[in-house]
Structure 1
Amino acid sequence: MFGISPLGWVHTLGSLPAIPAAAYMILRYGRIVPWSAAGMVYLVAMLIGGTSVFLVAHAPVSYVIGVVTLLLLAVGYGVGELKLPGRATTYIETVCLSLTVFLLMLPTVTEVLRRVPDGHPLVTDLHAPLLVGSQASLLALLVIGLTAQIFWLRRQGRMLARAR
């Protein structure tokens, strides 16, 4: 079905929980909260997807996306262990983990458009306007979302400073 191998299904279904986990955290907290319950679901799903991509991918760009995603996850989840000045940790966490959401959604949207409906996909060419427009929309959402998150974090920091 959809031309996906059994290992491809493990990759797809293993990483799928990251999407609702990310959506929940962004809507609830305004960002990915790494060590929350949803943050742990996100981490495990992203690790499954990020590592299994090396077994199922055929395009060189997939390997690059996998490596960059795993590096951003490591920084996003590990930066909290560092003693950085001010709220730098929160900013780094937020930027890194938001980038992982983008790197999750970019191939997800691309693969869905190239495989659905089964046998007659919406997109057959990587330069199709629908695919390029969808990818550009994801990039716009990343820029708008990161900007909003940074403004929200700055505002939150100011409110904390005033409360002291």
Structure 2
Amino acid sequence: MSILGLIHTIIAIIALVFAANGLIKTGFVSPFSATGKWYSIMTVLACLTSFGLSKAGGFNPGHAIGILILVLLAIAYLIGKNASRKRILLYVQVFAMTATVFLSLIPAVNETLSRVPAGAPLATGPDDPLVQNVVKVLLVLFIIGVTAQILKLRKTSLAAQQAA
């Protein structure tokens, strides 16, 4: 692994730790919470460092994922702090932030399974059935997670409306 690859990996792991912390504490990765801001900063850095990495040379699917993550982060921040005033915007913001976590895990799974254990990796690359099956499980978890987040937001906003 190159120095850039090592730096990228450390930054990406730190970003995912911040995401996990936000999800565990509140059930969301809010872009404007302290945890969400750190997650976003580290994720942007992970994406930027990923652009200097390529096994095949040139632009690859990992770079496309990085660009999509940056676009989703931008959407979440452009929606702004006032997203809670318009429920649909809050749903889009939650979806965007959660999607960045899901998308970050795709190359993480591929790279981990293609490198570990050293000398006899569990998978050969992104087309390996093991990698594809793990990504499918992550997709199901992403769908369940986003659904749970939206239901939690609906319940919270309905309770607030009834209290008013």
Q: How does the TM-score come out when normalised to structure 2?
A: 0.90
For residues 118 and 33 of structure 2, what CA distance do their matches in structure 1 show? 37
Shift of 1:125: 4.4
| 2:151 aligned residue | 151
Shift of 1:46: 0.2
For residues 141 and 84 of structure 1, what CA distance do their matches in structure 2 show? 25
| 1:30 aligned residue | 27
**Equivalent position SS for 2:52:** helix
What amino acid is aligned across from residue 37 of structure 1 in structure 2? A
Shift of 1:88: 2.7
What amino acid is aligned across from residue 23 of structure 2 in structure 1? I
What amino acid is aligned across from residue 61 of structure 2 in structure 1? V
**Equivalent position SS for 1:41:** helix
**Equivalent position SS for 1:145:** helix
| 1:54 aligned residue | 51
Unaligned runs of 5+ in 1: none
Query: Is the deviation greater in 71-80 or in 82-91?
Result: 82-91
1:123 equivalent to 2:120? Answer: no
Unaligned runs of 5+ in 2: none
Shift of 1:127: 3.1
Q: Would the aligned equivalents of 2:83 and 2:93 in 1 still touch at CA under 8 Å?
A: no
Q: For 1:2-33, what per-residue CA distance to the aligned partner results, in whole angstroms no more than 9, with x for missing partners?
A: xx110111111112111111111112111111
Aligned residues: 161
Q: How does the TM-score come out when normalised to structure 1?
A: 0.90
1:6 equivalent to 2:3? Answer: yes
**Equivalent position SS for 1:32:** coil
**Equivalent position SS for 1:124:** coil
Structure 2 vs 1, CA of residues 161 and 82 (structure 1 numbering), >3 Å: closer, same or farther?
closer
**Equivalent position SS for 1:55:** coil
Shift of 1:37: 1.6
Give the CA RMSD over aligned residues: 1.7
For residues 33 and 139 of structure 1, what CA distance do their matches in structure 2 show? 20
| 1:142 aligned residue | 142
**Relative CO higher for 1 or 2, CA cutoff 8 Å, sep ≥ 6?**
1
Shift of 1:52: 1.2
Q: Would the aligned equivalents of 1:22 and 1:32 in 2 still touch at CA under 8 Å?
A: yes
| 2:110 aligned residue | 110
Q: Would the aligned equivalents of 2:30 and 2:36 in 1 still touch at CA under 8 Å?
A: yes
Structure 2 vs 1, CA of residues 147 and 37 (structure 1 numbering), >3 Å: closer, same or farther?
same
| 1:161 aligned residue | 161
